[in-house]
Chain A
Amino acid sequence: MQRKDLLCPTSGNKSRANHIAAFGHQRAKQRDRISFRYPNLHSSIMADAIESKIKNYRTAPFDSRFPNTNQTRNCFQNYLDFHRCNKALSEKDQDTSPCDWYQRVYKSICPSVWVNNWDEGIEGGSFAGRV
């Protein structure tokens, strides 16, 4: 599961190695186990939690992946996550309303010019990001 990548080393730095978790492979395994036994349970729990979060939404919360002043990556990552989430959930035939969280966040952070350009790119097939 862990690829020793010369250019992106994860070993040798204790604090970072201790914190690597959650977003990647392990979460996928855990998700598959839950969704195998209870096909609709995980998605419905998630949908309720997210629905309440979306209802109480004020602004984009602090994201520890992007702690610095430059929030460009934050904006682009949420835009990508919105479209990836839509694609993944509609492929599994689940309700795509939890993905609205990512839409709220990117609409809060991203300049509207960028969003318009990217939307046109997605419609026309010229969008450069991996969705």
Chain B
Amino acid sequence: MLALVKKQLKNHPALIPLFFFIGGGTAMSMIYLARLGLRNPDVCWDRKNNPEPWNKLSPTYQYKLFAVNMDYNKLEKNGPDF
């Protein structure tokens, strides 16, 4: 199938940017979903062995790419220890 695509591209080389843009868009979507599934502090995969993974993060952990109006370095743990 790849040979067929290559042959068609040779006849219509203007279609090559199409592959880049669509492939790039797909890759970005998949990367975003993977980041959301694996790095998001709200997510728990293994309820038995690792029940609350968000509690293992430091109070200054920043998940968002752009943090506007929030200085993460000044944050501390809110509640008391017990």
Contact = CB atoms under 8 A, between A and B. Distances in A.
A20 B57 contact: yes
Interface stretch (A62-70, A110-118, A119-127): A62-70
Interface string A53-66: 00000000111111
Nearest to B67: A67
Interface of A: 3, 5, 7-10, 13, 16, 19-24, 27, 31, 46-47, 49-50, 61-68, 70, 73, 77-78, 81, 84-85, 88-89, 98-99, 101-102, 105, 130
Interface stretch (B1-9, B12-20, B21-29, B48-56): B48-56
In the A-B complex, the 3 residue pairs with the smallest Cβ-Cβ separation, listed nearest first, are: A98-B80, A85-B82, A8-B50
Interface of B: 38-42, 45-46, 49-64, 70, 72, 75, 77-82
Contact of B42 (A23, A47, A70, A99): A70
